[in-house]
Amino acid sequence: MRISSSWAHQTAVNSMLNQQASLQQIQQQLSTGKKLLTPSDDPMAAARIIDLNQNIKQNEQYQSNINTARDRLSQQESVLQSATDVLQKINELGVQGLNDTNSPSDRASIAGEMEELNKQLLSIANTKSPSGEYLFSGFKSTTQPFSKNSGTTGTYTYAGDTNSRSIQIDTNRQITDGDPGSQVFGMPAGSATLPAAGSINNVFEAIDKFAADLRANAPNSASLDDVSKSLDKVLSVRSSVGIRLNALDKQDEMHTDSVLEMKTVLSATEDVDYAEAIGRFSQQTVSLQAAQQTFTQLKKLSLFNYL
């Protein structure tokens, strides 16, 4: 069997090209910081990287949703705290107004203070978010929820709806980021004749009824019951908001842990180990130099060099 000089030369050249390709690949890994330069380097690892990146993005989107819901619920909780303070003051005035030692002028003065507090409470119920949406209008977030009727004394109108917006915070979990005003402050009777004291559902109408009776020097303890029930309703919604905020915090912690774990796995899968890669780079450089030296020696192994 004869081995031609051209075959030997080509073999040496191919060896050097392979060594150079390997060295170039390591250089690219070091410059990019990634072990996998193309999916063909490791198809299974490439598929795993795609899945991990998708899961990380999905969890980060859930975290963004949680932050949005948390901001809105935190504002609502703050607003409801203000409403609670106002209602507690109105409740105290109501107890004071029922005292038989009050003169008609005393009760008229209490009624005036109660009416001013009711205006403040109405303003609270019409609070907007920083983005310009009304907090208590349901899906009709651009519509002012509550207004006082000019045609019928002591009655109000609710222009929102009874819906609550739900936000996705996990694959199979949603949470409402607000409450409709009808649920928080009660659905007003509107232009219809008001129910009797003790059965008024809307807090603004209940307060106005109480104030009107005080002005007439004929307060009804049933009106105090209406105010107390309205206060309980606000407190109940506040409790629900607190529960939802707590749930958001716990879900956020779960997503944070999950994202951290997935990023750790992703790094181990795709990021290059610089110490190991530098070692391979040095070894490959030596191999390339050896291949080049071998080729130099092979070029001398020709009979033509001795003729």
Domain that holds residue 24: 5-52+271-306
CA 39 – CA 49 distance, rounded (Å): 10
Domain assignment present for residue 61? The answer is no
Are 163 and 250 in a shared domain? yes
182 token code pair: 């009808």
For the segment 138-163, the average pLDDT, to the nearest whole number, is 91
For the segment 3-7, the average pLDDT, to the nearest whole number, is 55
pLDDT above 90 covers a percentage of the chain that reads 62
For the segment 192-220, the average pLDDT, to the nearest whole number, is 90
Please provide the average confidence, as pLDDT, over all residues in the chain: 84
The residues facing 40 across adjacent strands are: none
pLDDT at residue number 1: 46
Please give the backbone phi and psi of residue 126, each rounded to the nearest 5 degrees, phi first: -100, 25
Cα dihedral sign for 234, 238, 243, 249?
positive
Are 226 and 297 in a shared domain? no
Cα dihedral sign for 280, 283, 285, 290?
negative
27 token code pair: 């250089």
Domain assignment present for residue 285? The answer is yes
pLDDT at residue number 18: 63
DSSP assignment string, 215-283: HTT---HHHHHHHHHHHHHHHHHHHHHHHHHHHHHHHHHHHHHHHHHHHHHHHHHHB--HHHHHHHHHH
The residues facing 173 across adjacent strands are: 170
For the segment 169-179, the average pLDDT, to the nearest whole number, is 94
Domain assignment present for residue 282? The answer is yes
113 token code pair: 């203070």
Give the number of domains in the chain.
Answer: 2
Are 110 and 216 in a shared domain? yes
Are 16 and 141 in a shared domain? no
23 token code pair: 């060295």
Are 252 and 284 in a shared domain? no
Of the given ranges (9-13, 54-58, 147-151, 166-170), which has the lowest mean pLDDT?
A: 9-13
Are 239 and 188 in a shared domain? yes
- Burial state string for 28-47 with b = 16 or more CB within 10 A and e = fewer than 16: ebeeeeebbeeeeeeeeebe
Tell me, what CATH number does 128's domain have? 1.20.1330.10
pLDDT at residue number 48: 86
pLDDT at residue number 290: 61
Q: What is the pLDDT of residues 239-266, one digit of tens each?
A: 999 999 999 999 999 999 999 999 888 8
Are 250 and 143 in a shared domain? yes
Are 170 and 221 in a shared domain? yes
Domain assignment present for residue 122? The answer is yes
Angle at which helices 104-125 and 43-97 pack, to 10 degrees? 170
Task: Find, among 112, 76, 36, the residue nearest to 270 by Cα.
Answer: 36
Are 168 and 184 in a shared domain? yes
Domain assignment present for residue 214? The answer is yes
Where does 98-159 have alpha helices with state H?
104-125
Cα dihedral sign for 300, 301, 302, 305?
positive
Task: Find, among 21, 130, 157, the residue nearest to 76 by Cα.
Answer: 130
Do 76 and 184 contact (CB within 8 A), yes or no? no
Name, in order, each residue with C-beta under 8 angstroms of 158's C-beta and a sequence gap of 6 or more: 145, 146, 181, 182, 187, 188, 190, 202
Q: What is the pLDDT of residues 17-33, one digit of tens each?
A: 665 665 566 666 555 65
Are 134 and 259 in a shared domain? yes
165 token code pair: 């917006």
DSSP code for 190: T
Task: Find, among 48, 98, 75, 132, the residue nearest to 224 by Cα.
Answer: 98
Cα 223 vs. chain centroid, distance in angstroms?
41
Are 195 and 229 in a shared domain? yes
For the segment 41-57, the average pLDDT, to the nearest whole number, is 85
For the segment 214-225, the average pLDDT, to the nearest whole number, is 94
Are 279 and 255 in a shared domain? no
